[in-house]
Chains A and B, each alone.
Chain A
Amino acid sequence: MKHDKIEKNLGLLMLFTMVVISIGGLVEIVPLFHINDTIEKVEGVRPYTPLELRGRDLYQREGCYLCHSQMIRPFRDEALRYGHYSLAAESKYDHPFQWGSKRTGPDLARVGEKYSNEWQVQHLVAPRSVVPESIMPNYPWLLKNDLAFADIADRLRALKKVGVPYSESKAEYEANVKEFGAEVAEMLDIQKAQENLIKQAQSGNYDGDANRITEMEAMVAYLQMLGTLVDFSQYDEGHFVQFR
């Protein structure tokens, strides 16, 4: 019998098993890279600023994603609670994305600007001091630790490698000015990453401590921009249906 060969050769069996299983994933995923409407054409979506990016790194370090998703699904109950459903375009610069449906805590896709910076700080340090019924752990060290950002330029470079348009050369910078406007393009300049991070931290003062740049600074800066990039009032109600 022919399958004797596969059944008796472990390497071959593993290889063929993987091939068969990947077909299931590939037929669902690969076409999405080619279909025109996968990523909606929408104004406002931009890569993260250096400070926001560090905040996102901390979000992942602390495992926030284990309890919080960042994906509002197109259901009535979610629309009423969280707002407009998430667009594919809104997470196109995310590596890795923060989608999911495991929600021990609420979805955070549109938490930006929903609460004040002071609330975010207080809530991260001691969640139960503001929401007594909360089961979220305390993250007091975010306020104690100084933010490490010496390697911020390398972090941007790494993301550039996977396609996020941070700019290194003059030509890339010009392309960003065209795509995002001068102000954002400035923020995406890898040479100026550290300078930009410090500038945003000082002008935003997200942690309420003007003298230091703490990890809290980056975390709150990140949380406060989530879901705020697209101005949905610009678009007709049914606009994003056309992309499906």
Chain B
Amino acid sequence: MSNSNQKSGGAPSTGHSWDGIEELTNPVPRWWIWSFYFTVVICIIYWIIYPAWPVGKSYTTGTFNDITYNVVNKETGEATEVTTHWNTRALLMADMQRGKEALKQKAYMDEVSKASFNEILEDPEKMAFARSLAKGIYGDNCAACHGTGGTGVVGLFPNLADDDWLWGGKVEQIQATIEQGRHGYMPDFKNSFNAEQLDAVTEYVLSLSGHSMDKKKVASGKRIFNGQQGGCYYCHTTKATGMVAVGSANLTDSIWTVADVQGAASLEAKKAAVKTVIADGVSRKMPAWSERLSANDIKLLTVFVHELGGGK
């Protein structure tokens, strides 16, 4: 440190000098000082209007900044106004109830909750609202399995964008599916069929959708399908057209949701795909959504899904 007291620019030296660079005692700029005092004042204003200081087991809650929101009594349905000190949870309540967007949406929602499915389907304005809102709900909740476009994943999650419906394609049926969820179940037959029988049933099942198969095997497969040993007709019916009540597939059309027959390159590959499904069975679960989504959300979603694949 240098002992030089040499003045430079008028200000005295602090006595700090490093490699010839000297630190002077110039005051900080006035604008800086005032900005600093200003932030201190703002700080005090914050303490007054927002929750700030801990006091024992509580804290100062702030004033002049209250938030009012409604609480609806679950039993009576009566709404009471509650006013509370500023906090983010109350802010959310107020935003959900009184925000500009929320009010706009609520007006539509009220109409939707009163309207029947037919009224929504026939009103272009309500349909436009359903499409725009349900698209978001679908994206957040359904798209993970059924895909953003509703095409699903063969083998795992049904395609919603075609007009084939395992659990029924009427609005009421779609609504019930969303509300309660579904469990698509087929037992495995690997222990009930020997290789020959499995082969025969596979040939029969593929013959139903217009594949030309071995006549003899088809005939014996049909007997197993409609007999006590296979019992396939319990769910798929003797005509093999499936039953909406249990979500069993129609085997006579060319739409396949579990065995990837469409994607198979050769007849052998198709047989292998069907065989695997018969041997291993099916267990596909769709969760119930009535707890997670509101009745109105499900209504809009129903209309959206109904429209995706041409509902019935």
Contacts and interface: CB of A to CB of B under 8 A. Distances in A.
A79 B99 CA distance: 14
Contacts of A129: 153
A75 B157 CA distance: 32
Interface stretch (A42-50, A144-152, A235-243): A235-243
A242 B156 CA distance: 44
Given A80-B136, A236-B71, 9 more contacts: A35-B54, A35-B57, A115-B144, A118-B156, A122-B156, A130-B156, A236-B72, A241-B90, A242-B84
B11 interface: no
Nearest to A116: B285
Contact of A238 (B71, B147, B157): B71
Interface stretch (B214-222, B228-236, B261-269, B286-294): B286-294
Interface string B99-118: 10110000000000000000
B141 A114 contact: yes
Contact of B87 (A116, A132, A241): A241
Given A130-B156, A241-B93, A31 B54 contact: yes
Nearest to B71: A238
A236 B74 contact: yes
A52 B277 CA distance: 31
Interface of A: 1, 31, 34-37, 73-76, 79-81, 83, 85, 113-119, 122-123, 129-133, 233, 236-238, 240-244
Sorted from nearest, which 4 A-B pairs have the closest CB atoms? A31-B54, A244-B87, A238-B71, A74-B92
Which of B58, B89, B291 has the most chain A CB atoms inside 10 A of its CB? B89
B144 A119 contact: yes
A179 B96 CA distance: 35
Contacts of B283: 118
Contacts of A34: 54, 56-57
A144 B252 CA distance: 38
Interface of B: 15, 51, 54, 56-59, 69, 71-74, 82, 84, 87-93, 95-96, 99, 101-102, 136, 140-141, 143-145, 147-148, 153, 156-157, 283-287, 291-292
Contacts of B69: 238, 241
Contact of A85 (B92, B95, B143, B286): B92
Contact of B144 (A75, A83, A130, A236): A130
A233 B287 CA distance: 18
Contacts of B56: 34
B182 to A, nearest CB: 10
A238 B93 contact: yes
B103 to A, nearest CB: 12
B89 A244 contact: yes
Contacts of A83: 292
A238 B68 CA distance: 11
Contacts of B156: 118-119, 122, 130
B144 A131 contact: yes
Contacts of A130: 144-145, 147, 153, 156-157
Contacts of A80: 136, 140
A35 B89 CA distance: 17
Contacts of B144: 115, 119, 123, 130-131
Nearest to A117: B285
28 contacts: A31-B54, A34-B54, A34-B57, A35-B58, A74-B88, A76-B92, A76-B96, A76-B102, A79-B92, A83-B292, A113-B287, A115-B144, A116-B284, A116-B285, A116-B287, A117-B285, A118-B284, A122-B153, A130-B153, A236-B72, A237-B93, A238-B93, A241-B69, A241-B90, A241-B93, A244-B51, A244-B88, A244-B90
Given A119-B156, A237-B71, A241-B84, A114 B287 contact: yes
B26 to A, nearest CB: 17
